[in-house]
Amino acid sequence: MDDEPERTKRWEGGYERTWEILKEDESGSLKATIEDILFKAKRKRLYEHHGQVRLGMLLEYFVDEYFDQNPISQIGLIVTKSKRAEKMTELSGNSKKHITALKKAVDMNCSGEPSLYNSLNLAMQTLKHMPGHTSREVLVVFSSLTTCDPANIYDLIKCLKAVKIRVSVIGLSAEVRVCTVLARETGGTYHVILDESHYKELLMHHVSPPPASSTSECSLIRMGFPQHTIASLSDQDAKPSFSMAQLENNSEPGLTLGGYFCPQCRAKYCELPVECKICGLTLVSAPHLARSYHHLFPLDAFQEVPLEEYQGERCCQGCQGEMKDQNVYICKVCQNAFCVECDLFVHDSLHCCPGCIHEHPAPISV
Amino acid sequence: DDELSLLVIVIDTNPIWWGKKALGEAEPFTLSKCIDAAMVLGNSHLFMNRTNRLAVIASHTQESRFLYPGKRWAFADLFGDGGSSMESNCSGSKDGKYELLTAINDAIAEEIKDLMTKTDMRGQQTETLLAGSLAKALCCILLITESSKPLSNQEMKSRILVIKAAEDSALQYMNFMNVIFAAQKQNILIDACVLDSDSGLLQQACDITGGIYLKVPHMPSLLQYLLWVFLPDQEQRSQLVLPPPIHVDYRAACFCHRNLIEIGYVCSVCLSIFCNFSPICSTCETAFKISLPPVMKAKKKKLKLA
């Protein structure tokens, strides 16, 4: 069944000599190597400047980041224990529901064996009804080394492939062969974590949308862009009304004067994005779509050049500070040089090169 | 315990707009008067607290220039505690003013003169590079925040004030939105003080980041508005009566006519927005799958064999 050669395991490879990374220069000092290690550590520190986030809170952090980067997407949560799988939350775009459920789940007791088959089956039941233009993904956080399945899981893998669902796995303990096959066949990724920060890195990798396959359907989605009306108390015609979100949870404040009115059926909502319960129209605001634009026009990595070789002015074009680090980073398009902090900021948060937007104020592809 | 507050002023120095303004009236509101007002605001901000910081950027059509601090500044320069290269360069205060303020005002005046007189107008560029200046402002804020972390446990609160003169550039929409989202993520406020025509982009920026948007009713009184509305920092604003939030139009503009629409069609591949259904997306040229109603098969009448 496996046509691809598997990678050799670590114990099958040659003997590694890790002390060779330390090199002495002519005078016998290790200074250059130490500086190099320090520089890499600084870059790593900047990269994870969020600080210590505890393991349990990482999933809540993931949900927040996911909806921040993909405001019109939806998440559903499934748990598996005692050879069964059950839905913790339904597929929805409301982050508060998921976070509340995750907080409650901390008190849940773990028992029995997990069932990979049942959880994937449950996920497939929901995802296969989604429209063709969506990217359907399942992310499994798997810590066990066994799974208890009622039927042949390889058949299920074939079904998942047919419905174009991508399954990725994050293993918490050790590599499990069935997960390797699962990820490979469906086009997902499988990683086993080394430590907490590696876990965070792997989770954050799944916040970005995967590239769409050429076989996925493309369609025009009808969406509404409601205006936010703020009626004031002095306005004679202002009538307070309930929002449709009240139907679901009673914790929202009751009557409000302003809100978003669906352009098709005039139902009121307090927050966007939301799917109108009455007429089914997806309601968003223009910035929600704009937030996903940077996934479509990703910024290329900058070229790393050692400071000694760099001929230009020792001034970072982003922050105007003096360049003191080991390397400078040069944008291949506009040839401007940036320091390491600006480079990380530009690629993680800003998604556009400050030099390029001066040379070409309008995006090139538009 | 002192709180660190950083104010970055971005001044729109579009030479075409300011040139037209100077020709217009008898007593025109010139760029010098605008820079004077900004300098007073900057000085007042530094007076509010010993640990406050300031940066000033001029947004031009050809480039964004840091008026203060100058190039290759080191963090020590911002303290003005003597021994910094900036103070040793300036000629000393002539009117008994605090030396740091004199140094800052002189540096700003020098740079702006250099920018406006020596910059060549190349190409067809007539629009202010505001998105670029804001991007550089964000990088600068990040650097100052990182540098001041080892010195104090207080979190640095930063805000950007944009003094806008010329009209919006619709082409910069995407870069502008990237800047706004990056600022929101870093908890940086963007305030806007608009001199002439309303700016939809800045209205969105203020709404998303939590800043104040103000269109100045009377331009010569600019300083009064700056000191009243934009001098207080985030904490003090809740206790003051300031201009109310404005109604922001978040409707999308369709890519075909640039009209604002309430219901539209969004391409699932490139997220372009259209007002009418069409079988092909004009931006990414994908052909869409149109779901037709199921075709009813005509019932075959069985011929009865006689």
- The secondary structure of residue B45, as a DSSP letter, is H
pLDDT-based confidence at B57, cuts 50/70/90?
very high
Mean pLDDT of chain B: 82
Q: What is the pLDDT of residues B195-253, one digit of tens each?
A: 988 888 899 899 889 899 999 999 899 999 999 999 998 888 888 888 888 878 778 77
To the nearest whole Å, the CA of A37 is away from the closest chain B CA by 21
- Of all residues in chain A, the one with the smallest CA distance to B64 is A358
- Averaged pLDDT for residues B49-78: 79
Residue A221 has pLDDT above 90, yes or no: no
- The secondary structure of residue A21, as a DSSP letter, is G
Specify the pLDDT at position B83: 38
Chain B residues within an 8 Å CB radius of A287: 177, 180-181, 204, 208, 250
**B263 - beta bridge partners?**
A224
Is-contact B223 B40, C-beta < 8 A?
yes
- Averaged pLDDT for residues A256-270: 81
Given an 8 Å threshold on Cβ–Cβ distance, is B142 in contact with A132? no
Q: What is the pLDDT of residues A92-127, one digit of tens each?
A: 878 888 888 888 887 778 788 888 899 889 888 888
Q: Is the dihedral of CA B270, B271, B274, B278 positive or negative?
A: positive
Chain B residues within an 8 Å CB radius of A295: none
- Averaged pLDDT for residues A329-350: 88
Q: What are phi and psi of B170, to 5 degrees?
A: -65, -25
Is-contact B35 B11, C-beta < 8 A?
yes
> Which tokens hold the place of B219?
């331009």
User: Residue A341 is nearest to which of B131, B143, B278, comparing CB atoms?
Assistant: B143
Residue A6 has pLDDT above 60, yes or no: no
Chain B residues within an 8 Å CB radius of A341: 139, 142-143, 146
B 285-304: CB under 8 A from A: 286-289, 291
Q: Where in chain B is the domain with CATH 3.40.50.410?
A: 4-80+97-238
To the nearest whole Å, the CA of A358 is away from the closest chain B CA by 6
pLDDT-based confidence at A238, cuts 50/70/90?
low
- Averaged pLDDT for residues A35-55: 60
Q: What is the pLDDT of residues B114-170, one digit of tens each?
A: 888 888 777 777 888 899 999 999 999 998 888 887 776 777 889 999 999 998 887
Provide the 3-class DSSP secondary structure of residue B273. strand
Q: How far is CA A121 from the centre of its chain?
A: 23
Helices (H), B154-244: 173-185, 200-209, 222-225, 234-237
Q: Which of A209, A132, A312 is nearest to B291 (CA)?
A: A132
To the nearest whole Å, the CA of B202 is away from the closest chain A CA by 13
User: Residue A341 is nearest to which of B71, B146, B181, comparing CB atoms?
Assistant: B146
Given an 8 Å threshold on Cβ–Cβ distance, is B169 in contact with A361? yes
- Averaged pLDDT for residues A225-229: 81
Chain B residues within an 8 Å CB radius of A69: none
Neighbours of A94 (CB within 10 A): 19
Which of the residues A130, A261, A320 would you substitute to probe the B interface, choosing the one with the greatest number of B C-beta atoms within 10 Å? A320
User: Residue B288 is nearest to which of A220, A289, A357, comparing CB atoms?
Assistant: A220
- Of all residues in chain B, the one with the smallest CA distance to A323 is B72
Residue A3 has pLDDT above 50, yes or no: no
From residue B136, alpha-carbon distances to A297, A340, B68 in Å are: 20, 15, 13
Which of the residues B178, B179, B180 would you substitute to probe the A interface, choosing the one with the greatest number of A C-beta atoms within 10 Å? B178
- Contact of B178 with chain A, judged by CB distance below 8 Å, is answered with yes
Given an 8 Å threshold on Cβ–Cβ distance, is B289 in contact with A363? no
pLDDT-based confidence at B72, cuts 50/70/90?
low
Token pair 């909502």: residue: A269
d(CA A229, CA A232): 10
For the domain made up of B4-80+97-238, give the CATH fold.
Rossmann fold (3.40.50)
Residue A49 has pLDDT above 50, yes or no: no
- The secondary structure of residue B288, as a DSSP letter, is P
What is the percent of chain B with per-residue pLDDT over 70, rounded to a whole number? 85
Specify the pLDDT at position B82: 39
Given an 8 Å threshold on Cβ–Cβ distance, is B136 in contact with A354? yes
The residue among B91 and B66 whose pLDDT is bigger is B66
- Of all residues in chain A, the one with the smallest CA distance to B180 is A350
> Which tokens hold the place of B225?
């508005």
- Contact of B169 with chain A, judged by CB distance below 8 Å, is answered with yes
From residue B296, alpha-carbon distances to B290, B293, B300, B301 in Å are: 17, 9, 12, 15
The residue among A250 and B283 whose pLDDT is bigger is B283
Mean pLDDT of chain A: 78
Specify the pLDDT at position B158: 93
Burial B270-280 (b: 16+ CB within 10 A, else e): bbbbbbeeeee
Is-contact A97 A63, C-beta < 8 A?
no
Whether omega for the bond prior to residue B217 falls within 30 degrees of 0, making it cis, is no
Q: Which of A243, A277, A273, A280 is nearest to A258 (CA)?
A: A243
Residue B268 has pLDDT above 90, yes or no: no
d(CA A306, CA A303): 10
Specify the pLDDT at position A155: 92
User: Residue A361 is nearest to which of B129, B264, B277, comparing CB atoms?
Assistant: B129
Neighbours of A27 (CB within 10 A): 6
- Contact of B280 with chain A, judged by CB distance below 8 Å, is answered with no
- Contact of B201 with chain A, judged by CB distance below 8 Å, is answered with no
- Averaged pLDDT for residues B13-31: 85
Q: Which of A51, A75, A55, A52 is nearest to A65 (CA)?
A: A75
Provide the 3-class DSSP secondary structure of residue B287. strand
Is-contact A88 A78, C-beta < 8 A?
yes
Has the ipTM of the complex gone over 0.90? no
SS (HEC) of A234-292: CCCCCCCECCHHHHCCCCCCCCECCEEECCCCCCEECCCCEECCCCCCEECCHHHHHHC
Specify the pLDDT at position A10: 65
What's the predicted TM-score (pTM) here? 0.78
User: Residue B263 is nearest to which of A133, A264, A317, comparing CB atoms?
Assistant: A264
The residue among A4 and B13 whose pLDDT is bigger is B13
Q: What is the pLDDT of residues A286-316, one digit of tens each?
A: 888 888 887 777 888 888 888 888 887 888 8
Which of the residues A225, A233, A328 would you substitute to probe the B interface, choosing the one with the greatest number of B C-beta atoms within 10 Å? A225
Residue A213 has pLDDT above 60, yes or no: yes
What is the percent of chain A with per-residue pLDDT over 90, rounded to a whole number? 2
